[in-house]
Structure 1
Amino acid sequence: MDSMVMGNNHLVSKQNEVAKPLSVAFILAPQFTLSAFSNFVDALRLAADDGDFSRQIRCKWKVLSHDSRPIASSCGLEVIPTAGLEDPKSFDYIVVVGGLLHSGKKISNQLLSYLKGAAELDVPLVGICTGSFILARAGLMQGHNCCVSWFHHQHFEAEFPKLPVSSDELFIIDGKRMTCAGGAGVTHLAAHLIEKHCGKFEAARALRIMLEEMPLPAATPQPQPVLTEKVSNLVVRKAMLLIERNLSNPLSIEDVSRKVNVSLRQLERLFHVELGMTPASFSLKLRLNHARHFLLNTKHQISYIAFECGFIGSSHFTRSFKAEFGITPTEMRNRGTVKIMHHSGG
């Protein structure tokens, strides 16, 4: 019996070895985000082999470049390319890892031409972190929905006003284009591809080793603002994200309810259950806490901070700030006093 089990395991292992592996190429932008790259490639590594040998059996990966020079990440650590610009058709996916949005350094013309050639060959392109900006700048997101981090949502809308963009989900798969906000979403996008090509077990095992939850679907909302307790209701979480990414030009609560497809009354009821406050109160508290952060960590004028946080004037800002924190903005800046936002139970 034992010999039969061993034989069967050996057969399964051999089948895994000869099956066509998942093949992924990485294009790293100048000052790319190291965590986005490492999360994706480590998920592949953990799914690729049994045990802890890291052999490229079920999954294979390469870092491509037109030259062999090291590529510096945003934190200063460098990655050395492992291959030249190989035939795009030899890869199942080409993943573009973005990084600092306003560093001034752009991806090379050779790499842009390579990506455009890959798109013409119908090779799926993946943009992670700000890789979505790189694909959009290359004209490769036309006709496709795009996922970005809530932090970069307004930047994307300003640069590409005609492209549909969302920061509600962890990632979006739209035909031959896949985009991901970054962070933990990268790991779950990688797990989705691993599950598709290698199986559910390999995807779940990779996540388990990385101390992540079981695979999350693409539509899972991005994390809510950090100034509140954990919120489980998806409608409230989406509303919170909408409010946070429109701090300088606050949406009316009617607009928020319309965008999350519930009535104003229902939204207010859900906020009360989850947070113990109305959506309008949450919006005000969130803007005031962002203003407090600016006061304590920047040298911006108070009038500028008031404007950036969506207040109609300095006097309105000062009254609201003192009502929340007990001191004026000027007094807080002078004292360096921090009061954490609290809310009552539901």
Structure 2
Amino acid sequence: MTIKPSDTNAPVDRLKIGFVLAKSFTLSAFSLFVDTLRLASDEFDRSGRVLADWEVLGSTRHLIMSSCGVKVAPTSDFVEPSQFHYIVVVGGLLNSDTPIDQDTVNFLKAAAAKNVRLIGVCTGSFILAEIGLMKQHQTCVSWLHYQTFRDRFPDHQVRSDRIFNLDRTRGSCAGGSSAADMAASIVQRHIGHDAARNALEVLQIERARTALEIQPRRPLSIESEDPRIRAVLIMMDRHIEGTITIPELARSVGLSRRQLERLFLSETRSTPALVYRRVRLERAKQVLLQSKAPLIEIALDTGFENASHFSRAFKQTFGQTPTQLRASMAD
């Protein structure tokens, strides 16, 4: 199709998106995505499907239950997937072994074979990965689901610092309000900048966040407006076992090790290595207080070579050993 320049509003072929809703899908992510399309498709909130069109696809017309209990009915059976520019899989709760049925699996695989772009929203990326459609692509997931994704798909590329990712034929989105940002990015690409901006304004969203925006979560109590610091903190939190190196952390935000160290000293008055150790010790302290796991197990899980090394670092940071902390909680 013809891609419309982002700064014009000339008519183009309608952007067409098909939605696949999993069992217990997240209603907010779906509604924000589809409402961004709706508001970008027409002027003055008339909801006409002028510049965009969409369908909720299903193997049956049975109602699909969202995680909050609201049900949505498919509007179309499965049709030729190549008539859509994107097919968006909206996931939700990870409590079902079969979030979609086999007919839906077959449809998604057929769409992939025809190079239709597939997008996983919220845990929709888990569904695409489960059926073998994300292995060659970097997947963006919520920090909440990062470890689960790594455990299930250890040979996949995954990150939890960005809000969404869109590459050649795949997309993934952390969910929540970032669904509107991803939808706005697609609208801007296919319809125009003005349409994307107007849609978000009606939704009372001040501005569209790009794929480079950092997920709004800060480990520890470190406050920094620098997105590179925030991204590195999340990466540290996601590699709590201590397996990521400082040079790797630096490269993840486009810096050299020396540049990252200068940035941390300027913003946090500490080095990346010391902050990383603090992140791991904070997690160890949390596990100590919430479980009866052996000290050696906690030490190894948080990247310390043995229990003795762990105890020394813990006392240096918190003023008492792990054993003393547990004993004080038992009193």
Q: TM-score range by the shorter chain?
A: 0.7 to 0.9
Alignment of 1:62 onto 2:62: no
Alignment of 1:51 onto 2:44: yes
Q: How does 1:249-264 map to 2 (within 5 A)?
A: 249-264=242-257
Match in the other structure for 1:86: 79
Q: Provide the rounded CA distance (Å) in 1 between the counterparts of 2:251 and 2:12.
A: 48
Alignment of 1:105 onto 2:86: no
- 2:110 aligned partner, one-letter code: G
Which segment is superposed worse, 155-164 or 111-120? Answer: 155-164
Alignment of 1:29 onto 2:22: yes
Q: Provide the rounded CA distance (Å) in 1 between the counterparts of 2:267 and 2:287.
A: 27
Q: Provide the rounded CA distance (Å) in 2 between the counterparts of 1:290 and 1:54.
A: 48
Q: Provide the rounded CA distance (Å) in 1 between the counterparts of 2:96 and 2:182.
A: 26
- 1:8-49, Cα deviation, whole Å (9 max, x unpaired): xxxxxxxx8986432221111222223322221222233233
Distance 1:209 1:281, change over 3 A: farther
Match in the other structure for 1:190: 183
Q: How does 1:318-329 map to 2 (within 5 A)?
A: 318-326=311-319
Instruction: Give yes or no for contact 1:22–1:92 (8 Å, CA) kept in 2.
Output: yes
Equivalent of 1:115, from 96, 108, 112?
Answer: 108
Q: Provide the rounded CA distance (Å) in 2 between the counterparts of 1:185 and 1:61.
A: 19
Q: Provide the rounded CA distance (Å) in 2 between the counterparts of 1:76 and 1:326.
A: 48
Which segment is superposed worse, 118-127 or 315-324? Answer: 315-324
Which segment is superposed worse, 184-193 or 316-325? Answer: 316-325
Instruction: Give yes or no for contact 1:302–1:329 (8 Å, CA) kept in 2.
Output: no
Name the SS of the counterpart of 2:16 in structure 1.
Answer: strand
Q: Provide the rounded CA distance (Å) in 2 between the counterparts of 1:74 and 1:334.
A: 41
Instruction: Give yes or no for contact 1:17–1:58 (8 Å, CA) kept in 2.
Output: no
State the Cα RMSD in Å.
3.3
Q: Provide the rounded CA distance (Å) in 2 between the counterparts of 1:139 and 1:121.
A: 15
Match in the other structure for 1:283: 276
Match in the other structure for 2:3: none
Distance 1:259 1:22, change over 3 A: closer
Equivalent of 1:301, from 293, 298, 309?
Answer: 293
TM-superposed CA distance for 1:301, in Å, is 2.6
Choose between structure 1 and 2 for higher RCO, CA contacts under 8 A separated by at least 6 residues: 2
Name the SS of the counterpart of 1:237 in structure 2.
Answer: helix
TM-superposed CA distance for 1:132, in Å, is 2.0
- 1:289-327, Cα deviation, whole Å (9 max, x unpaired): 33344455x444353544443344455445544544456
Distance 1:143 1:291, change over 3 A: closer
TM-superposed CA distance for 1:157, in Å, is 4.3
Name the SS of the counterpart of 2:120 in structure 1.
Answer: strand
TM-superposed CA distance for 1:245, in Å, is 0.9
Distance 1:246 1:60, change over 3 A: same
Name the SS of the counterpart of 1:127 in structure 2.
Answer: strand
TM-superposed CA distance for 1:271, in Å, is 0.5
Task: Extract unaligned runs of 5+ from structure 2.
Answer: 1-8
Match in the other structure for 2:142: 149
Q: How does 1:124-273 map to 2 (within 5 A)?
A: 124-273=117-266
Name the SS of the counterpart of 2:53 in structure 1.
Answer: strand
- 1:301 aligned partner, one-letter code: A
Q: Provide the rounded CA distance (Å) in 2 between the counterparts of 1:143 and 1:266.
A: 31
Distance 1:74 1:302, change over 3 A: farther
Instruction: Give yes or no for contact 2:219–2:237 (8 Å, CA) kept in 1.
Output: no
Q: Provide the rounded CA distance (Å) in 1 between the counterparts of 2:257 and 2:11.
A: 57
Distance 1:314 1:71, change over 3 A: farther
Q: Provide the rounded CA distance (Å) in 2 between the counterparts of 1:66 and 1:244.
A: 40
Instruction: Give yes or no for contact 1:148–1:180 (8 Å, CA) kept in 2.
Output: yes
Instruction: Give yes or no for contact 1:224–1:231 (8 Å, CA) kept in 2.
Output: no
- 1:140-192, Cα deviation, whole Å (9 max, x unpaired): 23543433334444544444444444444332222222222323332211001
- 1:146 aligned partner, one-letter code: T
User: Which TM-score applies when normalising by structure 2?
Assistant: 0.81
- 1:214-263, Cα deviation, whole Å (9 max, x unpaired): 22332333345243454333433332232111002343434433554534
Q: Provide the rounded CA distance (Å) in 1 between the counterparts of 2:201 and 2:79.
A: 33
How many residues are matched?
A: 321
Task: Extract unaligned runs of 5+ from structure 1.
Answer: 1-15, 337-346
